[in-house]
Structure 1
Amino acid sequence: MTFFYLLLGLAVLLLASAALAVWRLWRRQTLMPYRLEDGLFAPAEADLLAALDVAAGPGRRIFGKVLVEDVIGLERRVGRQLQARASARLAERRFDFLICDARTLRVLCAVDLVGDERRLFGARADATLARICRAAGLPLVTVTAAERYDPRELAEALAAAMAPPPAEVPTRLDKPQRPPEEGPPSQDEDRLLAELAAAIRHENTD
């Protein structure tokens, strides 16, 4: 009889351990439903990153998947409602790639990959993101997802985007110079005119 109760207690202990393990697994999957992705970049993003590494050239460092709000801030001298609307535009948006100065890490240009349907704003060009970058003065290059990227074409697009705007030369309308005004005749001119008039009178009398 004692052996029976011993086996029964052992069975209950095993069932309790199994139930606890199942409960812990269910709790972990329910409260923390996370898993590690296969890689940081999708295939199209990884191919573009390899081409950007060549196109960006030396002295540049490329960062990927950066939140827009980590790069672009809000002006302080605006009202709360405007700040709230502007902040909402930044939420959930990210830059696919940022090209930065390798030494100072200053952001030089942003790259947006269009055609990645897994992203919320990646299936087509994000017009709002373009307006945000334009307002902040950040160059933005939009690249369509493709099977192959030409580093030379990317280098040209990056150079064109990061080129400083042409300096505005102020137009100056020069006033036409007036001819020097003739002043009153000098004494020498009076004397020459008098001698010329006397010569003419002398010839007429002859």
Structure 2
Amino acid sequence: MEFAIVLMMLLIVVALGAIKLSDSGVAFPFRRKPQLFTPVEHSFLNLIEQAMGHEFRIVSRVRLNDIVSVRQSANKKTASQALSRASARQLDFVLVDKRDMTPVLAIDLVHNKGQDGYKAQKDWFVTGALDAAGVPHARIKVKSGYSVDEIRECLENKLIPLRRLQQRKASMPTLNPEPPKRPTRPVRSSRPAAA
């Protein structure tokens, strides 16, 4: 009987705790957004996929410090300041190589509506960091009516150094060519064996 009373009290305490935790105002005041992208970002993502999706993967909303790193020769104070500034910056889209996922091109959309438009002013820290890391940066003004060819032309202009590097690598002779295929076991002689 005493065991049943203790068990009932324990059950009541657990129930009260569950009610308190399930209160919607206390735990996590979040709700799901109806869309991940704005309509402008979504249509632009579709244009980029049609223009470059066969060759590159398109990654969206990437923090700057996800694609650049601080040189080891930098002192600790400068490195920590640069990392904190880079973690606060975000790129709208990044093209990455499908084979090894290396960043190839950073893309920012520029809205010029109003005086304080979205990324209307060029961020010199982002541009400088990407230039130092060797990642091209394309800033594209948002307007309606872009065609796939216009987007492809704009992005290909930024990818000219990458294309030249790819051509140089393709035309360079390999230092260690593949050895010719040889038998892996000794070849038998066609002469009869001596008795």
Q: How do residues 74-89 of structure 1 correspond to structure 2 at under 5 angstroms?
A: 74-89=70-85
Moved more, 95-104 or 40-49: 95-104
Normalising by structure 2, what TM-score?
0.65
SS in 1 for 2:29: coil
Moved more, 158-167 or 86-95: 158-167
SS in 2 for 1:25: coil
CA distance in 1 between partners of 2:112 and 2:72 (Å): 34
Offset of residue 121 of structure 1: 9.1
Offset of residue 24 of structure 1: 2.2
8 A contact 1:74–1:86 mirrored in 2? yes
CA distance in 1 between partners of 2:21 and 2:134 (Å): 54
CA distance in 2 between partners of 1:146 and 1:139 (Å): 22
8 A contact 1:47–1:149 mirrored in 2? no
RMSD: 3.0
Greater helix share, 1 or 2? 1
Equivalent residue number for residue 156 of structure 1: 153
Normalising by structure 1, what TM-score?
0.62
Structure 2 residue runs of 5 or longer lacking an equivalent are 1-11, 166-195
Q: Note if 1:41 corresponds to 2:37.
A: yes
Q: 1:23 to 1:48 in 2, by over 3 A?
A: closer
Q: Note if 1:64 corresponds to 2:60.
A: yes
8 A contact 1:113–1:145 mirrored in 2? yes
User: 1:150-183 CA distances to partner (integer Å, 9 max, x unpaired)?
Assistant: 221211111111112889xxxxxxxxxxxxxxxx
Structure 1 residue runs of 5 or longer lacking an equivalent are 1-12, 168-206
Q: How do residues 10-159 of structure 1 correspond to structure 2 at under 5 angstroms?
A: 24-28=23-27, 32-115=28-111, 122-124=118-120, 125-159=122-156
Offset of residue 60 of structure 1: 1.5
CA distance in 2 between partners of 1:156 and 1:80 (Å): 41
SS in 2 for 1:149: coil
1:82 partner amino acid:
T
Identical aligned pairs, as a percentage?
Answer: 23
Q: 1:121 to 1:89 in 2, by over 3 A?
A: farther
